[in-house]
C-alpha cells in the first residue's frame, strides 16, 4: 500500500513562522504606504533629506560658476549618474523647464520657489551706485537680483583690486546649506518629484536668491535618493535569519523527541514492548513519553503473563494427555477384534489435542526464548527447512549465494517451516510455493509466496493474532489452530525483525520477513 507523503513538523513550523513574518512585513508595508500616502515629506527628515541635500550641493558647486543658460546642461550628467532627471525651475519663465510638469507638482513648485524679484536692492551696509548694466563675456548671469558690475567679474581676481575681506563681510557672504523643500507623487502616476532649494554664494557681497531644483524619478526610491529599500531588505532578511536561528533548535528538539515517540509506538504496535525514551522534562511531551513507557511496561507484563500462562497450561496438559493416550492403547489391546470405531475417534481427538498443546508450547517458547544470534547462511537454512517440511514438493528458491543474516537459526527455521507448511495446507499440495531473499539498505527481506486463493484484504492485519482463523466455525479441518502465523511473528520479533502479509498482484498470498543486518539496540 502506498504511504501518503509526509510533511515534517519542522518544515510546518518554519513555514508558519515565515508566513507570520511575511504578514508582519506586509502589514508594516501597508502602514508605511498609508503614512507615505498622507505625505511623502516625512521622508525628508531622514536620510532621504540628507541625500537630496548632498545632490543639491553637488549641483550648486557645478553651476555656480557657469552661465545660467548652461545650468540644466551641466545638471544633466549629475542626474544621469543618479538615474533621475533634474532641472532648475524658474517661475518667471526665463529658464525653460525641459520636463512636462504635472498640475499638482507645478502648484507645489510655485509655492516652494522663493520670491523672484529682479529689482532686489543690495544690502544697506554695501550701497552700490547705479551703473550701466554690463555683463562681461563669459561671466555668469545672476538669476535673481541686480546684474553684477564690471569689476565683479567672476574670473581670477587681480591682486591690486582684491581688498582684504572684513569679518562682517565674510559672515554676510556665508552660503546656507542646501535644503530639500518637498517630495510628492505626481497626478496620474507621472512619477515622483522632489524640490530642493539651492543657495549660491554672494557676488562681491551681493546676495543671490535661492533657486528651486526639481528632481523626477519613475520610482519611489528615486534610485536610492528618495528612499533606499536595501536597508529594509537586509533588515527583513536579518530578522528572518534571527527568527530561524532562534526557533529552529527549539522545534528540532521537539521533532526529534516526536521521532523517538513514533519509533516507540511502532515497536509497541509490532509487539515489542521493551522501549525506553530519553528524558524530556515536565512538559506535555515528557509526560506523554513517560505514559508510553508505562503503557509498554504494562503491556509487556500482560503479554508475558499470558504467554507464560499458555505455556504452563500446555505443559500441565501434556501429562494427562499422555496418560489418556496410554490408556486408550491398553483399552484397544483388550478389545481386540471388537468394534473400535469409538476408540479410534477418541484417539484422533486426543492426537489433535496433543498437537494443539504442542503448538501452544511452541508459541510460548518462541516469545519467551532468549535469542541466540549469530551469522547464518540463509540459503543453507532454507534448504534444511524445505528438506524437513516439503521434501517431496518443488519449491522455488531465489537467494543470493553467500547471503548471510544475523539471527537465531532455530527461531527463523521454525518461522520459515510454519510458512511453508501453511502455504501447502491452504493453497493445496500442488501449489507453487516460492522463497526469495533480497538485500536492502539496512535489512534482509525474506518472502514466502504461494499461488493459492489468498485471503480477503480486510483480514490481513488480523492474521498474526493468536487463535485467529478466517473460518468463523473454527474448524481445524479448514482453519488449523490459528497459531501458525502467530508463532511466525513471535519468533521473528524475538530475533528483532518484523513480519507482514500481503496479496500479490497476480493472486495468491505472501508473507514477508524483514530482519536487520545487525541487531538493533533497544530504545
The conformation of residue 274, written as its DSSP 8-state character, comes to -
Of the candidate CATH numbers 3.90.1150.10, 3.30.565.10, 3.90.1640.30, 3.40.640.10, the domain formed by 370-523 belongs to: 3.30.565.10
Degrees, nearest 5: CA angle 292-295-296 = 85
Buried b (16+ CB within 10 A) or exposed e, 83-101: ebbbbbbbeeeebebebeb
Check residue 116 and give its pLDDT.
56
Taking residues 310-322, report their average pLDDT. Answer: 73
Distance from C-alpha of 264 to C-alpha of 241, rounded to nearest angstrom: 34
CA distance 73 to 70: 5
Q: How far, in Å, CA of 184 to CA of 187, rounded?
A: 10
Q: Is the pLDDT of residue 80 over 80?
A: yes
pLDDT of residue 138: 47
Measure the CA–CA gap between 304 and 456, rounded to whole angstroms.
30
Q: Can you give the residue ranges of every domain in the chain? A: 39-227, 270-368, 370-523
Q: Determine the average pLDDT of the residues in 20-44.
A: 68
Higher pLDDT, 432 or 39: 432
SS3 29: helix
Which range, 26-30, 304-308, 404-408, 482-486, is most confident? 404-408
Give the chain's length.
Answer: 523
Q: Identify the band that residue 134 occupies on the pLDDT scale cut at 50, 70 and 90.
A: very low
Of the listed ranges 170-179, 293-302, 412-421, the one predicted with least confidence = 170-179
Q: What is the mean pLDDT of residues 226-247?
A: 77
- pLDDT value for 437: 92
Distance CA 414, CA 490 (A): 11
Whether 139 has a pLDDT exceeding 50, the answer reads no
Cell numbers representing residue 300 in the block:
509487556
- Which of 254, 259, 248, 249 lies closest to 6, judged by CA? 259
Summarised one tens digit per residue, pLDDT across range 342-369 is 677 777 777 777 777 777 777 766 666 6
Mean pLDDT is highest, among 269-278, 281-290, 369-378, 504-513, for 504-513
CA-based end-to-end distance of the chain: 27
What is the maximum alpha-carbon separation in the chain?
A: 167
Q: What is the pLDDT of residue 31?
A: 67
pLDDT tens digit sequence for 453-480: 888 888 887 888 877 777 654 444 555 6
Average pLDDT over residues 211-231: 80
Q: Tell me if 363 sits within 8 A of 487, measured CB to CB.
A: yes
Work out the mean pLDDT of the chain and round it to a whole number: 76
Instruction: Give the CATH fold of the 270-368 domain.
Output: Helix Hairpins (1.10.287)
| DSSP run (H or E) holding 514 | strand 509-516
CB-count exposure of residue 156 (10 Å: 0-12, 13-18, 19+)? exposed
Amino acid at each position: 500500500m502506498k504511504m501518503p507523503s509526509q510533511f515534517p513538523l519542522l518544515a510546518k513550523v518554519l513555514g508558519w513562522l515565515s508566513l507570520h513574518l511575511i504578514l508582519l512585513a506586509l502589514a508594516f508595508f501597508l502602514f508605511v504606504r498609508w503614512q507615505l500616502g498622507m505625505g511623502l515629506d516625512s521622508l525628508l527628515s531622514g536620510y532621504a533629506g540628507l541625500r537630496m541635500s548632498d545632490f543639491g550641493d553637488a549641483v550648486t558647486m557645478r553651476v555656480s560658476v557657469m552661465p545660467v543658460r548652461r545650468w540644466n546642461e551641466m545638471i544633466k550628467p549629475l542626474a544621469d549618474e543618479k538615474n533621475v532627471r533634474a532641472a532648475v525651475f524658474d517661475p518667471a519663465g526665463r529658464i525653460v523647464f525641459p520636463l512636462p510638469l504635472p498640475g499638482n507638482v507645478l502648484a507645489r513648485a510655485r509655492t516652494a520657489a522663493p520670491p523672484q524679484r529682479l529689482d532686489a536692492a543690495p544690502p544697506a551696509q554695501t550701497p552700490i551706485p547705479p551703473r550701466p548694466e554690463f555683463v562681461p563675456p563669459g561671466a555668469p548671469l545672476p538669476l535673481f537680483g541686480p546684474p553684477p558690475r564690471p569689476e565683479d567679474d567672476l574670473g581670477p581676481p587681480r591682486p591690486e583690486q582684491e581688498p582684504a575681506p572684513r569679518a562682517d563681510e565674510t559672515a554676510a557672504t556665508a552660503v546656507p546649506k542646501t535644503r530639500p523643500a518637498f517630495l510628492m507623487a505626481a497626478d496620474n502616476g507621472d512619477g515622483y518629484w522632489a524640490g530642493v532649494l539651492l543657495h549660491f554664494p554672494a557676488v562681491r557681497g551681493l546676495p543671490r536668491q535661492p533657486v528651486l531644483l526639481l528632481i523626477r524619478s519613475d520610482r519611489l526610491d528615486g534610485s536610492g535618493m528618495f528612499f533606499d529599500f536595501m536597508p529594509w531588505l537586509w533588515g527583513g532578511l536579518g530578522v528572518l535569519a534571527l527568527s530561524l536561528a532562534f526557533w529552529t533548535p527549539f522545534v528540532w528538539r521537539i521533532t526529534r523527541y516526536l521521532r523517538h515517540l513514533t519509533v516507540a509506538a511502532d515497536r509497541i504496535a509490532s509487539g515489542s514492548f521493551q522501549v525506553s525514551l530519553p528524558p524530556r522534562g515536565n512538559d506535555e511531551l515528557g509526560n506523554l513519553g513517560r505514559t508510553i513507557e508505562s503503557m509498554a511496561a504494562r503491556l509487556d507484563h500482560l503479554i508475558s503473563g499470558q504467554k507464560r500462562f499458555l505455556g504452563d497450561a500446555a505443559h500441565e496438559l501434556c501429562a494427562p494427555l499422555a496418560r489418556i493416550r496410554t490408556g486408550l492403547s491398553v483399552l484397544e489391546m483388550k478389545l481386540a477384534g471388537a468394534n473400535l470405531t469409538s476408540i479410534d475417534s477418541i484417539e484422533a481427538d486426543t492426537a489433535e489435542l496433543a498437537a494443539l498443546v504442542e503448538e501452544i508450547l511452541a508459541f510460548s517458547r518462541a516469545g519467551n526464548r532468549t535469542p541466540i544470534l549469530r551469522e547464518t547462511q540463509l540459503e543453507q537454512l532454507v534448504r534444511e527447512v524445505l528438506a524437513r517440511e516439503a521434501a517431496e514438493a518443488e519449491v522455488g528458491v531465489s537467494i543470493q549465494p553467500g547471503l548471510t543474516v544475523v539471527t537465531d537459526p532455530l527461531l527463523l527455521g521454525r518461522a520459515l517451516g510454519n510458512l511453508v507448511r501453511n502455504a501447502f495446507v491452504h493453497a493445496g499440495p500442488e501449489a507453487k510455493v516460492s522463497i526469495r531473499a533480497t538485500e536492502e539498505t539496512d535489512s534482509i527481506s525474506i518472502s514466502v509466496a504461494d499461488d493459492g486463493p489468498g485471503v480477503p484484504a480486510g483480514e490481513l492485519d488480523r492474521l498474526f493474532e493468536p487463535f485467529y482463523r478466517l473460518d468463523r466455525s473454527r474448524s481445524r479441518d479448514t482453519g488449523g489452530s490459528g497459531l501458525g502465523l502467530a508463532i511466525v511473528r513471535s519468533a521473528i520479533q524475538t530475533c528483532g525483525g518484523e513480519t507482514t502479509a500481503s496479496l500479490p498482484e497476480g493472486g495468491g498470498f505472501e508473507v514477508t520477513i524483514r530482519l536487520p543486518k545487525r541487531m538493533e539496540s533497544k530504545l
